[in-house]
A and B are shown apart, each in its own frame.
Chain A
Amino acid sequence: MATLTLRDIKKSFGATHVLHGVDLDVTDGEMIVIVGASGCGKSTLLRIVAGLETETSGEVLIAGQSMKGLEPADRDVAMVFQNYALYPHMSVFQNMAYGLKIRGLPKDQIQHRVDEAAGLLGIGHLLQRKPRELSGGQRQRVAMGRAIVREPKLFLFDEPLSNLDAKLRVELRAEIRRLQRRLGVTSLFVTHDQVEAMTLGDRLVVMNAGRAAQIATPMEIWERPADTYVAGFIGSPSMNLLHATLEAGGAAAILDAGGLRLPFADGPRAGAAGRKLIIGIRPEHLRPGQGGLDVMVELVEPLGGESVLHGKLADGTPLTARLPGARYEDGATQLALPTESLHVFDGETGKRIEAGG
């Protein structure tokens, strides 16, 4: 158990810059989820912490100690891989015990630790099997067991649930969270799945093109995304992003499509009249109602308790709405935008603009 500090981590492979300086402070026992689209550098960041890659510049500190020049084995971290990376010729027991054996732990202690971890994960009856005789979920448990027996300072998860089917993923997700809380080990968890990120993390790091776009708790990110990338990435279906301009005085925005006036509920924004804005509204905040957006609905996806509507505005901008109930049809309709649920971003930089800012 330990803290983890990343200071301005940069990484380039030849001329390709993958990480542009990431800072992060992880407190003891915290579960941090690094989330982002593929190629954003999230796995590279994890591998730098593990010591499998060397940072081009910057510093990794585990429990306050610089990891510069230390081999993965000397960092006291354990990693769970996406494809499990269980040695195929070793039994489950041997797989879990391998790291301890190399460290020269006495046999009875190895036995004790493996038994304990196996009990914790419910894989005690599988110890003599080979990995190929296990199902995907069981393999993933073994991979976690291998990490747990090491009793490391840090758990590193590299998309460990991606190879599992949807049902198992949900089950194991909850289990990982319970285990991590119970063991209290500081953890980094990399995923591209925003639902996984929201449910697992104490805090999220949303990565975009080699930068940490936002580091905050899941709810904070959902309620106040730092820029349009984070806004579009977190939440399902994605947030609607509509072009608009600032009204003189800054108390409202005028939508480009249809010229609808949207007053800001939380106060005026700075800037000259005509400042380019992007207005964000989550699909679930739209409501059927008069005096709102004119939408041409093209597709209705009934989900039982609610429906997802895909449509277009007058100028062709796509719009998604998630509405309660299932009685919707294709064709022209009007949707109201509750002004208290609007997000305001700068039209050029995409950064969030707060009231008065």
Chain B
Amino acid sequence: MSVTTDATALAERTRRRQFREKIVTHVCLLAGILIFVFPIYLTLIGSTHDVNTIGRGDVPLLPGAEAVANYTQAWGAGGGRYMGTPAGTMLANSLIMALCIAVGKIAISLTSAYAVVFFRFPLRMVFFWLIFITLMLPVEVRIIPTFQVMVDLGLTNTMAGLVIPLIASATATLLFRQFFLTIPDEYVEAAKIDGAGPIRFFIDVVLPLSRTNIAALFVILFIYGWNQYLWPLLIVNDRSLETVVVGLTKMIGTGDQQNEWNVIMATAVFALLPPVAVVVFMQRWFVKGLTETEK
């Protein structure tokens, strides 16, 4: 009898403790969401008012009626009185740049990691360490010499000049190398006996096995490319090649004129959408690539 009572009491205690834990968890999560979501909410709301509402210094918390007008202006004509690159053009530029950087980085690091892991050639480790050492140099350190090289090659104000210097990637090479090292030697040997040469082995075995890693890296590198600021600012001054991240900052004036915050915020919302889309669509792959290996 007493045993049953004890057990019931114990179960009740456990239930309460679990309930308390749940509440704590949810409070923490809600706080996090508020901190992250609020600025984005403000941006969204701001993009639906006319220029004077925000200009007065009010911070509206409810949607206004100017959404269609603002977004149409941002997409077609751009903001800022003097410097209007339409958001459509800037988004296209950013998209092309980010895609080229992500795809280029993945292609280059896949092949270089393949060479370093699966082939024995003289100075193999030297090459690996050379790649590794470039990790220590951030883009900013070599930005002036890189700029000089691009000028000499006549690549300023071109998409190629925008993309190529950002393609080399030690990080991705390193990640692929680590992944390739986990591929059992037996696969290589089985392929040798099956008669698959290095290129066939790469295409038929290594690439399919790297699928999830490639997807995860693609997400990270796409956002990396999308968010590039300093290099596009330097290498491009042709309006038709402006990227959205650079364009956004240029829209915010230096103080001698009123900022068209409504259009700026509409452009910011446009700038958010492609990375969000990439993350949402590739989320399944992304998580898989970071957590599990198919073996």
Contact = CB atoms under 8 A, between A and B. Distances in A.
A103 B195 contact: yes
Contacts of B205: 87, 89
Interface in B189-243: 189-190, 192-196, 200, 204-205, 208-209, 211
A87 B187 contact: yes
B232 to A, nearest CB: 38
B295 interface: yes
A77 B189 CA distance: 12
A161 B204 CA distance: 27
Nearest to A143: B190
A81 B190 contact: yes
Contacts of B295: 88, 132
Interface residues of A, number: 23
A78 B193 CA distance: 7
B209 A85 contact: no
Interface string A273-301: 00000000000000000000000000000
A98 interface: yes
A15 interface: no
Contact of A50 (B193, B200, B208, B211): B193
A88 B193 contact: no
B122 interface: no
A52 interface: yes
Given A98-B204, A102-B200, A85 B189 contact: yes
A81 B209 CA distance: 20
B192 A73 contact: yes
A89 B209 CA distance: 7
A199 to B, nearest CB: 25
Contacts of A337: none
A48 interface: no
A72 B196 contact: no
A102 B203 CA distance: 13
B21 interface: no
**How extensive is the interface on chain B, given as a class?**
10 to 19
A341 to B, nearest CB: 44
Given A88-B295, A98-B204, A72 B184 contact: no
A73 B187 contact: no
Nearest to A75: B193
Interface string B159-172: 00000000000000
B193 A77 contact: yes
B294 interface: yes
Contacts of A89: 205, 208-209, 211, 294
A103 B294 CA distance: 27
Contacts of A302: none
B6 interface: no
Interface string B174-192: 0000000000101101101
A73 B193 contact: yes
A99 interface: yes
Given A87-B205, A89-B209, A102 B195 contact: yes
Contact of A99 (B189, B195, B211): B195
A103 B193 CA distance: 11
Contacts of B189: 50, 52, 72, 79, 81, 85
A91 interface: no
A317 to B, nearest CB: 44
A51 B195 CA distance: 12
Contacts of A175: none
B193 A72 contact: yes
Interface in A310-349: none
A71 interface: yes
Contacts of A99: 193-195
Q: Which of B200, B204, B209 has the most CB of A within 10 A?
A: B204
Interface string A63-75: 0000000011100
Contact of B196 (A51, A102, A146): A102
A89 B196 CA distance: 16
Contacts of A50: 189, 193
A88 B189 CA distance: 15
Interface string B279-295: 00000000000000011
A132 to B, nearest CB: 8
A109 B189 CA distance: 25
A250 B204 CA distance: 69
Interface in B260-295: 294-295
A132 B194 CA distance: 21
A83 interface: yes
B213 to A, nearest CB: 13
A71 to B, nearest CB: 7
A79 B190 contact: yes
Nearest to B211: A89
Nearest to A98: B194
Q: Which 5 A-B pairs have CB atoms at the shortest separation, nearest pair first?
A: A73-B195, A85-B186, A99-B194, A85-B190, A89-B208
Interface of A: 50-52, 71-73, 77-79, 81-85, 87-89, 98-99, 102-103, 132, 146
25 contacts: A72-B189, A72-B193, A73-B192, A73-B193, A73-B196, A79-B189, A81-B186, A81-B189, A81-B190, A82-B186, A84-B186, A85-B187, A85-B189, A88-B209, A88-B294, A88-B295, A89-B211, A89-B294, A99-B194, A102-B195, A102-B196, A102-B200, A103-B195, A132-B295, A146-B190
Given A83-B186, A98-B194, A146-B190, 9 more contacts: A50-B193, A77-B193, A78-B193, A82-B186, A83-B184, A85-B184, A85-B190, A102-B195, A102-B200
